Amino acid sequence: MFSIAKLTHQLNEEIQDNEIRVIGADGAQLGIMSSEAALELAAEQDLDLVKISPTANPPVCKIMDYGKFRFDQMKKEKESRKNQRVVEIKEIRMSPGIDTNDLNTKMKNAIKFLKDGNRVKVSVRFRGREMAHTNIGEQLLLQFAEGCNEVANMEKNPKLEGRFMFMFLSPKAENKK
């Protein structure tokens, strides 16, 4: 079962306060009265008395159909969950000695990921003596970013950490789903 509203409301007989501020079903202020009188008013209209703001002085209660209120809240919650989209980070790894066709293939994959709305982490791994030529890896990453620039923005410039140099690409606004 779904968790309905994070707040738990006090209903009808659960409200034990001496004086409460009452709001009618139509949203009109009915004034300050005893909880018994407010409960009778709600019962006359076949509605529930719900404590909305327990911290106010005096506490605020509203006359409403609590079942409908819960249903609407659940519907809004479900709708907001439906509109959420988790952005994944896809990673593409290369070495400084990558050939042009392999680079183009990896670029096509990155463009596909970016069009799906995902971020892409492009990394180059240096082995052994390749560490002395990190500028080659940086040029490779910049070339890669240039190849994807119609669908992506470079989020972070190439950065060297240990044996890896990486950069992040994020999709441009018009490509996001």
For 56-113, strand residue ranges (E) read 60-64, 89-94
pTM: 0.52
* Measured distance CA(168)–CA(6) in Å, rounded: 37
Residue 3 structure tokens: 């968790």
Cα separation, 7 vs 48, whole angstroms: 17
Query: What pLDDT score was predicted for residue 175?
Result: 52
Judged against a pLDDT cut of 60, whether residue 2 lies above it is answered with no
Least confident of 1-5, 68-72, 111-115: 1-5
- The answer to whether residues 105 and 98 touch, using CB atoms and an 8 Å cutoff, is no
Instruction: Set out the domains of the chain in order of their start, with CATH numbers.
Output: 12-83 (3.10.20.80), 89-175 (3.30.110.10)
Q: What is the pLDDT of residues 131-175, one digit of tens each?
A: 888 888 888 888 888 888 888 888 878 888 889 998 998 888 765
- Count of other CB atoms within 10 angstroms of residue 42: 22
Query: How much is the pLDDT for 3?
Result: 45
100-115 helix and 134-147 helix, angle to the nearest 10 degrees: 50
pLDDT digits (tens, 9 = 90+) for 69-101: 888 888 888 888 777 777 788 889 998 888 889
